[in-house]
Amino acid sequence: EAGTFLFDCGYSVPPEVWRTVEDPEAIDLIYISHPHADHYFGLPALLGRMWEDGRTRPLTILTQPVVIEQIREIVEAGYRGLAARFQYEIQYLAAAAGAEIEAHGAAFRFAATTHPAPNLAVRAEWGGKAFCYSGDGMFTGESRKLFAGADLLVHEAFAFETRPGHADIEGVIWMAGEEGVRRTALAHVSRRVRRAEWGRIERAVAQARGTQASAPEPGAVYEVGA
């Protein structure tokens, strides 16, 4: 049986974790896709609360080598000297495009996307199920192969128009259908687009072909493989 995984930890993530996860030992592994603040600046608060609530079990952080030192730096900057007092060990695993890593009952594979910061999309497989997460960035030939046939893909889709370093809503839906993804959740949609063009988003989702698409609200729950 696979463990419990958290994919990215931006500054808005810790309150949601605290609202839904009471056990400080519950999370086995945190995956960080790339070194942008909205994807990993929530770590100091989350790791500090784990310590405060008495965590003793080791925690795995899976990310690119370039991100590992930056994580150590922001945790130290947020709470100087606190990491040395943690009663639990943080075990870092280095992710790389094309690599496969087994941890906590799942196999993880990675592919680069097109983004200003080096970003790795990830595929996690366990018990015949496959979950994919894009992080940020426009999909590439390699990330499309990674996503193929997944039970659930969470992919960033910033707007309707294509922007440098980001994927577009209709393009993600089309790609997921082409790659045989069962369900696709559109994430990281611009707040402006959600407010001004929600009807257009609903139409794009309803017209999806080859995948069951959705644009979830915060707190939405999906069951992988259901």
Average pLDDT over residues 52-59: 97
Q: Specify whether the backbone of 53 is left (phi greater than 0), alpha (psi in -120 to 50) or beta.
A: alpha
Strands (E), 22-105: 29-31, 59-63, 90-94, 100-103
Residue pair 222/183 in contact (Cβ under 8 Å)? The answer is yes
- Within this chain, domains 1-94 and 103-215 share the same CATH topology: yes
In this structure, whether the domain defined by 1-94 belongs to CATH 3.30.470.30 is answered with: no
CA dist., res. 114 & res. 57, Å (int): 36
Banded pLDDT at 207 (limits 50, 70, 90):
very high
pLDDT score, position 46: 98
59-63/120-126 β-pairing: unpaired
Banded pLDDT at 23 (limits 50, 70, 90):
very high
Q: Is residue 226's pLDDT more than 90?
A: no
Average pLDDT over residues 20-25: 95
Average pLDDT over residues 16-30: 96
List b or e across 15-38, with b for residues whose CB sees 16 or more CB atoms inside 10 angstroms.
eebeeeeeebeebbbbbbbbbbee
Banded pLDDT at 15 (limits 50, 70, 90):
very high
Question: What are the extents of the domains in the chain?
Answer: 1-94, 103-215
Banded pLDDT at 77 (limits 50, 70, 90):
very high
- 15 φ, ψ (degrees, to nearest 5): -60, -35
pLDDT score, position 225: 80
* CA distances, 114 to each of 92, 119, 143, 168, 224 (Å): 25, 7, 10, 13, 26
Taking the domain 103-215, which CATH number applies? 3.60.15.10
Question: For the segment 84-116, what is each residue's pLDDT rounded down to a tens digit?
Answer: 999 999 999 999 999 999 999 999 999 999 999
Banded pLDDT at 76 (limits 50, 70, 90):
very high
pLDDT score, position 195: 95
Residue pair 124/106 in contact (Cβ under 8 Å)? The answer is yes
Average pLDDT over residues 115-124: 97
